[in-house]
A = this chain, B = another copy of it.
Amino acid sequence: MTLATGLAARDDTRLPVRLERSRRAVATGAGLATDDVDAWLAGRRRAHRFTVERVPLGELSGWSSEPGSGNLVHRSGRFFSVEGLDVAIDGRAWQQPIIVQPEVGILGLLAKEFDGVLHFLMQAKMEPGNPGLLQLSPTVQATRSNYTGVHRGAEVTYLEYFTRPERGRVIADVLQSEHGSWFLRKSNRNMIIETFDEVPPHEDFCWLTLGQIGSLLHRDNVVNMDARSVLACAPMAPAEAGAVRSDTDVLSWFTNERARHDVRVRRIPLAEVTDWVRTKDHIRHADHRYFRVGGVSVIAGNREVTSWMQPLLEPVGVGLCAFLVRRIGGVVHLLVHARAEGGLLDTVELGPTVQCTLQNHAHLPERERPPFLDLVRRAGADRIRYTALHSEEGGRFHHAVSRYLLVTATEAEAAAEPPAGFAWVTPGQLNSLARHGHYLNVQARTLLAVVGLAEGLQ
């Protein structure tokens, strides 16, 4: 990796080869066999007390409505708040509650070679909003409050590998957005750091290969959102020589999408948000659409803090996130959609072909329903290359489950020249965009991780 002059090579050409080797190790790794992961997770679940109870919003200890604004805030002024947002996208206007959490957290995945194969240190982590509570997460999930001690809890295990990445080798390190419909301009630092040190073992952590994680991605609600997001940033996808559009043309198309949308966003007091109501239990939409904000009380044995209460955002219904897939000119392409969302930092990011929750569209006329939705819903088993349920971040969202799909399409169904706002791009092109922030939204990153890792999809 080092040139004769003492300089570093600009590109690590061995890395894709090493990642591919790890991806091919599907059944076993240096730690657990893939078939044994379930039993291990069940064991970790039993080992820790972790109970979650619903609590009315008004009874959340430490949380209250700020006088005047009505914003839902913590007495410390930290963690996050629920405030109001006034959104106008290309003339379509609405107001909504939104989570405000300006600090940048770390989602850190530690990598290490065992027997010549890269392994990744996954954590069995409980979050109150997770279906089944426990999922596989990155090595470290830390908000700034976590690692600056606002929680007054225990230290975050393995954090030091990510606060001093120069101790190892950086595989990926990029600020990526979170949900633009639920978070105001939230981004987290997605990091993969390879270490050459001996790493002390910990009972809640295990080393898995990319192939093992890819195998687990075929299962419902096992690999958490943070892990999926981080893994999407690993340069996994092949560097295809050709594509429908050159890389420069993809960037140009994206620039035009970003420039042509008029997104105007204004923070407003939660108390002023129209069409939403505050009950004793929840903040919810007058027509029960979109999501509601409720409270939980958590008792945990393996967390920095052993008990706490907090609000969680609970979406209405199960989401649907799907890429249409076509082999064009012999090369796999995915149909991305440049989506404007009120909480994104900069107008649009690339999302899956279809990203919606059916319930939220039921009241709309046919012509206002998302393009390609019916195609995805009607797809038979022969068209579905991948399907699984995955949930979003369980520290903020309660049972926020979406069905993630890869669906093959034909030229008649999805032409090589797609409608405005859509473009066919290769996994390699998406992977190179994922080195930079604010190109791929969090749902697209889940599916990019699936394309890169899940068995049988390469």
Nearest opposing residue in chain B for A165, CB measure: B252
Asked if A248 contacts B170 (CB within 8 A), the reply is: yes
Question: Are A7 and B174 within 8 A (Cβ)?
Answer: no
Smallest beta-carbon distance A250→chain B, Å = 9
A236-287 at interface with B (beta carbon < 8 Å): 239-249, 251-252, 255-256, 258-259, 264
Q: Return chain B residues, CB-CB under 8 Å to A428.
A: 10
Across-interface contacts of A12 in B (CB, < 8 A): 246, 248
Residues of B within 8 A of A255 (CB): 173-175, 189, 437
A6 at the interface (CB under 8 A from B): yes
Contact residues in B for A264 (Cβ distance below 8 Å): 102
Docked-complex contact A240 and B175, CB < 8 angstroms = no
Are B3 and A242 closer than 8 Å at their CB atoms? Answer: yes
Contact mask A297-311 → B, CB, 8 Å, 1/0? 000000000000000
Residues of B within 8 A of A429 (CB): 10
Q: Tell me the minimal C-beta distance from A430 to chain B in angstroms.
A: 12
Segment of A120-128, A325-333, A379-387, A406-414 engaged in the interface with chain B: A325-333
From known contacts A165-B252, A174-B251, A252-B165, infer whether A8 and B242 are also in contact, taking CB-CB under 8 Å.
yes
Is there a chain B Cβ closer than 8 Å to A345's Cβ?
yes
Q: Mark A1-32, 1 if CB is under 8 A from B, else 0.
A: 10101111111100000000000000000000
CA distance A15 to B102 in the complex (A): 41
Residues of chain B within 8 A (CB-CB) of A330 are 5
What chain B residues lie within 8 Å of A9 (beta carbons)? 241-242, 246
Q: Nearest-CB distance from A248 to chain B (Å)?
A: 5
A5: contacting residue among B11, B248, B331, CB under 8 A: B331
Residues of B with C-beta under 8 A to A438: 346
**Residues of B contacting A104 in the complex (Cβ-Cβ under 8 angstroms):** 258-259
Which of A3, A10, A438 lies at the interface centre, i.e. has the most chain B CB atoms within 10 A of its CB? Answer: A10
Q: Does A89 contact B (CB under 8 A)?
A: no
Q: Which residues of B contact A170 (CB under 8 A)?
A: 248-249, 252
Q: Is A119 interfacial (CB 8 A cutoff)?
A: no
On whether the beta carbons of A246 and B346 are closer than 8 Å, the reply is: no
- Compute how far the CA of A435 lies from the CA of B439 in the bound complex, rounded to whole angstroms: 13
| Residues of A425-439 whose CB lies within 8 A of B | 426, 428-429, 435-438
Question: Looking at A173, A243, A244, A426, which has the most chain B CB atoms within 10 Å of its CB?
Answer: A173
Question: A173-B251, A189-B259 in contact; A243/B328 too (CB < 8 A)?
Answer: no
The chain B residue with its CB closest to the CB of A248 is B170
Inter-chain contacts of A320 with B (CB < 8 A): none
A172 to B251, CA, bound (A): 8
Q: Is the CB of A248 within 8 A of B173?
A: yes
Q: In the complex, which residue of chain B has the Cβ closest to the Cβ of A193?
A: B252
- Closest Cβ of chain B to A107, distance in Å, is 12
Q: What 1/0 mask marks residues of chain A from 324 to 366 whose CB sits below 8 Å from any chain B CB?
A: 0000111100000000000001100000000000000000000
CB within 8 Å of B: which A158-209 residues = 165, 170-175, 189, 191
A245 to chain B: which residues have CB within 8 Å? 8
Q: How far is the CB of A3 from chain B (nearest CB, A)?
A: 4
Residue among A9, A191, A242, A258 with most chain B CB within 10 A? A242
Q: Please determine whether A243 and B8 come into contact, CB atoms closer than 8 angstroms.
A: yes
Chain B residues contacting A346 (CB-CB under 8 Å) are 175, 345-346, 437-438
Residues of B within 8 Å of A1, CB to CB, are 246
Complex formed: what's the CA distance from A429 to B172 in Å?
Answer: 17
Selected A-B contacts with CB under 8 Å, 18 pairs: A5-B242, A5-B330, A5-B331, A7-B329, A8-B244, A9-B241, A9-B246, A10-B241, A11-B247, A12-B246, A173-B251, A173-B255, A174-B251, A175-B258, A175-B346, A189-B259, A191-B252, A251-B436
**11 other A-B residue contacts (CB within 8 Å) besides A10-B240, A173-B252:** A3-B241, A8-B244, A9-B241, A10-B246, A10-B429, A102-B264, A173-B255, A175-B258, A175-B259, A346-B437, A346-B438
Which positions in A face B, CB cutoff 8 Å?
1, 3, 5-12, 102, 104, 165, 170-175, 189, 191, 239-249, 251-252, 255-256, 258-259, 264, 328-331, 345-346, 426, 428-429, 435-438
4 smallest A-B Cβ distances: which pairs? A7-B242, A5-B329, A173-B252, A3-B242
